[in-house]
């Protein structure tokens, strides 16, 4: 496989300069160049400067791919989220980015669109690319997948939902407890006929946990199951809106609705406004996520604030620590808070 002396007339994309040429020009070995860059303390200051001079002269940058192959570390972590467009995921993603970027790691993000099959295939692809670690969303997935990760010795952190098992480290908040916080707020205000709008619980364990909290609260109230109103929908404004539309058309509409995410809550709110249903006088509405926008709505949305950024940052920190040390970290449960604003009021 001899290359014919690179004499392309037009001058194609110039061959990159390699560490070998740098070494030759600096009259040292490639090992020394490598060390000058990766472990300066192992090289005499004088030598280091000489090497650096040559490097700068040629604008030399190491080939990350070759580095990865030789060192068996890619300095890349994988992140899988269901969607970027919901800004609550954007927040945690950005925090993960910041933490990784600060440590010289890159983030390979995969969007699973709430689809387990797609998630599995994304994970496989990240594995093939030899990411050093993984941050996943939610905890519910085929155990074969977790097996694969373990078999490959790949560090990973679960987020958005605490894991039950201790061998699966997670950084998350308690969705069930958080949703109870929302329900208790409504109940404290005297509501008994409460509706629920949430994500698809079969594809989303966070939505499921929130739904279970709703159901537990309703049972606690002694309200007959037949009187509950539950809508599982996709994460779109319009879905929240149409769900509210149907609730209001019900023979006995609820006096309050728990929307398990702010996106749907905003859609629901817009439906109330369009139909002239007064919020919170005739209808109380509580969201979940406390998106930045929620306090700029009119009326301002009552919601559950979740620590998306903090969670992302912490997850990234723990993952990087795991990669560096080889020791799996402890799970961590972050607190959430109820943010009372203007869309909830006493039951009529």
Interface ranges with a second copy (CB under 8 A): 12-14, 16, 59, 61-66, 68-69, 74, 76, 83-85, 87, 90-91, 93-94, 97-98, 101, 104, 106-111, 122, 124-130, 148, 151-153, 236-237, 241, 266-267, 269-270, 273, 292-293, 295-298
Cis amide linkage into residue 280, ω under 30° from 0: yes
Selected from 8, 29, 125, 293, the binder of DNA by CB under 7 A is 29
Q: In whole angstroms, give the CA distance from residue 22 to residue 303.
A: 59
Q: Supply the minimum distance, in Å, between the C-beta of residue 152 and DNA.
A: 12
Selected from 8, 53, 57, 71, the binder of DNA by CB under 7 A is 71
Q: Supply the minimum distance, in Å, between the C-beta of residue 282 and a second copy.
A: 16
Q: Supply the minimum distance, in Å, between the C-beta of residue 62 and DNA.
A: 4
The answer to whether the CB of 301 falls within 8 A of the CB of 277 is no
Q: Which tokens sit at 63?
A: 């080939």
Nearer Cβ to DNA (2/251):
2
List the interface residues with DNA, window 7-26 (CB under 7 A).
15-16, 18-20
Question: Is position 35 an interface residue for DNA (rule: CB under 7 A)?
Answer: yes
Residue 30 touches which of a second copy, DNA, none (Cβ within 5-8 Å per kind): DNA
Nearer Cβ to DNA (28/263):
28
Question: Is position 83 an interface residue for DNA (rule: CB under 7 A)?
Answer: no
Our measurement of the distance from residue 264's CA atom to the centroid of its chain's CA atoms, rounded to an integer in Å, reads 19
What are the residues facing 110 on neighbouring strands?
80
Question: Which positions touch DNA (CB under 7 A)?
Answer: 1-3, 15-16, 18-20, 27-35, 37-38, 42-44, 46-48, 62-63, 66-67, 69-72
């Amino acid at each position: 496989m001899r290359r014919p002396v690179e004499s392309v007339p037009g001058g194609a994309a110039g061959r990159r300069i390699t560490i070998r040429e740098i070494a030759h020009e600096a009259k040292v070995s490639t090992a020394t160049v490598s060390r000058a860059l990766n472990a300066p303390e192992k090289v005499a200051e004088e030598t280091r400067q000489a090497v650096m001079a040559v490097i700068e002269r040629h604008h030399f940058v190491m080939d990350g791919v070759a580095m990865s192959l030789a060192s068996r570390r890619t300095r890349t972590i994988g992140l899988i989220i269901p969607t970027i467009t919901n800004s609550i995921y954007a927040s945690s993603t950005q925090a993960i980015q910041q933490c990784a970027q600060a440590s010289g790691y890159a983030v390979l993000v995969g969007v699973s669109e709430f689809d387990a099959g797609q998630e599995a295939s994304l994970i496989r692809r990240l594995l093939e690319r030899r990411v050093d670690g993984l941050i996943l969303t939610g905890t519910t997935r085929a155990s074969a997948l977790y097996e694969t990760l373990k078999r490959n010795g790949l560090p990973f952190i679960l987020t958005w939902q605490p894991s039950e098992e201790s061998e699966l480290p997670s950084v998350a908040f308690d969705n069930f407890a958080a949703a109870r916080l929302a329900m208790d707020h409504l109940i404290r205000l005297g509501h008994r006929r409460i509706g629920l709008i949430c994500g698809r619980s079969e594809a989303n364990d966070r939505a499921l946990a929130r739904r279970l909290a709703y159901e537990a609260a309703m049972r606690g109230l002694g309200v007959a199951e037949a009187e509950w109103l539950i809508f599982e929908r996709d994460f779109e404004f319009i879905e929240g809106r149409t769900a509210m539309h149907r609730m209001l058309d019900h023979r006995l509409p609820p006096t309050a609705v728990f929307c398990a995410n702010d996106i749907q809550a905003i859609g629901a709110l817009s439906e109330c406004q369009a139909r002239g249903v007064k919020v919170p006088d005739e209808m109380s509405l509580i969201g979940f996520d406390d998106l930045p926008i929620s306090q700029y709505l009119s009326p301002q949305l009552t919601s559950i604030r979740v620590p998306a950024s903090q969670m992302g940052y912490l997850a990234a920190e723990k993952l990087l620590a795991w990669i560096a040390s080889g020791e799996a970290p402890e799970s961590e449960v972050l607190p959430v808070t109820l943010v009372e604003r203007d869309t909830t009021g006493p039951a009529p």
